[in-house]
Amino acid sequence: MSVALGETRPLPVRTTPVGDPGDLLAALPGIAPYAWIRNGEGLVGWGEAARAAVPPGPGRFAWAREWLAGVLGDAQVDDAVRHPGSGPVAFGSFTFDEDAHGSVLVVPRAVLVRRDGQAWLTTIGDAPLETSSPIGHPGRISYGDGSLTAPEWERVVARAARRIREGELEKVVLARDLVAVAEHPIDVRLLLARLARRYPECYTFSVAGMVGATPELLIRRTGQEIESLVLAGTTPRGSSQADDVARGAALLASAKDRHEHECAIASVRETLAPLCSSLTTPDEPELLTLPNVQHLASHVTGRLADGASVLDVVAAMHPTAAVGGTPTKTAIEVIRELEGMDRAGYAGPVGWIDAHGDGEWGIALRSGVVDGRRARLFAGCGIMGDSDPASELAEAQAKFRVMQYALEG
């Protein structure tokens, strides 16, 4: 754990209203940008007032909440806004596997927010803030196999499908990675700008090198109200409007995809029900259409019963069936056995939390880890007993195109 302003004195925090900042991403300096943007609204941050490397293990979310309570709870706050996301805010990225290292929480030194017709700036400390600099371009991009080649991954899918048919589990989500190497250092701000422009309905995020645009909202907490968007079941976009409509209709009618979606909804319902005084899940999924794929989607809403923070709900929900499988414990064991790679933050929780426990957390899908000139891209597919390895590989390749577009433009 580190606290840049000293662990013995509280963080001095000031939040003030500001005029419309326009493009939030344009305000980011080049070093360590943080972001959570959807449809032009959200939060961006930069600098580092406090940072924690969260220890792995089953108690990691409880550890994170305790650390946040100490850092944010003791802050000396002058907040003229008093809305969710004002005052001190922490951005976080947690690894998919609880036993993996790499989970992190960061309290930026500056956070600029625009939401619901208002905008404000939160600063910590009195030092001058960094200014924005020209965005760099990565140049030529070359790609190479990640942990497994495409044929190797297809064989893993076939093995998983066979184990599902044999009754060991109902569903498992298998991911693969792709390595991209750029001619020049990769400027995260360029990726964010491209993702936000191309996928405005997604949550474009950046936390400690984890960058992406996820369509899946794990949880939003505003006061006692919570909301989750469950996605499971996917098809690529069509080559024409008629083909696109036909693909969407086929997805809605697909027994395999509907069952996969029902598993995901059941997992969320089972997890949230003990935390909520009321919970609503839809009877039928709807289609969520993105530039590259269509998903089966369901909005889940509820009201918390005991005042749990958003991080408590994240702890209860992760991993969902949508990114792990059903039953979850068995699926995680199968993933560890078959997948052949460390997912890092891919399919793990990513988002933000304020000092009052409000916040928004997504699942880090359509994402990659950026480090200098190198980026490790991720994509995953829900595997059922009748899954076809070639079709699942094509789905993964379609999902890779999100981050490939961000790199190449």
The tens digit of pLDDT for each residue in 309-329 reads 999 999 999 998 888 998 989
pLDDT band at residue 226 under the 50/70/90 scheme: very high
Q: What is the pLDDT of residue 179?
A: 98
Q: What is the pLDDT of residue 334?
A: 97
Q: What is the pLDDT of residue 128?
A: 66
Instruction: Say yes or no to pLDDT of 73 above 90.
Output: no
Over the stretch 386-406, which tens digit does the pLDDT of each residue have? 999 999 999 999 899 999 999
* Residue 35 near residue 192, CB atoms below 8 Å: yes
Handedness of CA 35, 90, 108, 123 (dihedral sign): positive
User: Which two tokens mark 365?
Assistant: 């899908």
Instruction: Say yes or no to pLDDT of 67 above 60.
Output: yes
| List 154, 170, 171, 392, catalytic entry | 171
Instruction: Say yes or no to pLDDT of 3 above 50.
Output: no
Helix (H, G, I), strand (E, B) or coil at 259: helix
* Residue 95 near residue 56, CB atoms below 8 Å: yes
- Rounded Cα distance between 76 and 342, Å, is 39
Query: In angstroms, what CA-CA distances link 126 with 80, 123, 170, 206, 310?
Result: 18, 8, 55, 25, 30
In the chain, domain spans: 2-408
Average pLDDT, the chain: 92
Short-list 241, 219, 240, CA closest to 228: 219
| List 48, 154, 170, 216, catalytic entry | 216
Q: What is the pLDDT of residue 17?
A: 97
pLDDT band at residue 7 under the 50/70/90 scheme: very low
Instruction: Say yes or no to pLDDT of 264 above 90.
Output: no
User: Which two tokens mark 164?
Assistant: 């599902």
* Residue 89 near residue 75, CB atoms below 8 Å: no
Helix (H, G, I), strand (E, B) or coil at 263: helix
Q: Is the pTM for the entire model greater than 0.75?
A: yes
Short-list 345, 318, 69, 101, CA closest to 206: 345
User: Which two tokens mark 255?
Assistant: 């027994």
- Rounded Cα distance between 35 and 28, Å, is 9
Query: In angstroms, what CA-CA distances link 270 with 119, 175, 206, 279, 280?
Result: 37, 25, 30, 10, 12
Give the residue-averaged pLDDT of 23-31: 89
- Rounded Cα distance between 30 and 186, Å, is 10
* Residue 360 near residue 351, CB atoms below 8 Å: yes
Instruction: Say yes or no to pLDDT of 127 above 90.
Output: no
Instruction: Say yes or no to pLDDT of 288 above 70.
Output: yes
Handedness of CA 239, 244, 249, 252 (dihedral sign): positive
Percent of the chain residues past pLDDT 70, beyond the cut: 97
Half-sphere exposure of 359 (CA within 13 A, CB side): 27
- Rounded Cα distance between 92 and 90, Å, is 6
Instruction: Say yes or no to pLDDT of 6 above 90.
Output: no
Using DSSP, how many helices (H) and how many strands (E) does the chain show?
A: 8, 24
Of 399 and 350, the structure prediction assigns the larger pLDDT to 350
The strand pairing partners of 293, in sequence order, are 236
Short-list 66, 53, 57, CA closest to 2: 53
Residue linked to tokens 């880890």: 369
pLDDT band at residue 16 under the 50/70/90 scheme: very high
Instruction: Say yes or no to pLDDT of 211 above 70.
Output: yes
Give the Cβ contact number of residue 270 at 10 Å. 12
pLDDT band at residue 293 under the 50/70/90 scheme: confident
The strand pairing partners of 379, in sequence order, are 176
User: Which two tokens mark 42?
Assistant: 């959200």
* Residue 308 near residue 317, CB atoms below 8 Å: no
Instruction: Say yes or no to pLDDT of 2 above 60.
Output: no
Over the stretch 154-206, which tens digit does the pLDDT of each residue have? 999 999 999 999 999 999 999 999 999 999 999 999 999 999 999 999 999 99
Per CATH, the number for 2-408 is: 3.60.120.10
* Residue 181 near residue 141, CB atoms below 8 Å: yes
The strand pairing partners of 298, in sequence order, are 230
End-to-end C-alpha distance for the chain, whole angstroms: 37
Q: What is the pLDDT of residue 9?
A: 67
- Rounded Cα distance between 321 and 105, Å, is 25
Residue linked to tokens 């590989």: 393
Q: What is the pLDDT of residue 403?
A: 97
Task: Judge whether 216 counts as a catalytic residue.
Answer: yes
Instruction: Say yes or no to pLDDT of 126 above 80.
Output: no
Short-list 286, 113, 304, 289, CA closest to 227: 304
Max Cα–Cα distance, the chain, nearest Å:
64
User: Which two tokens mark 21?
Assistant: 């900042």
Q: What is the pLDDT of residue 5?
A: 39
- Rounded Cα distance between 360 and 226, Å, is 10
Q: What is the pLDDT of residue 278?
A: 93
Over the stretch 128-157, which tens digit does the pLDDT of each residue have? 667 778 899 999 999 999 999 999 999 999
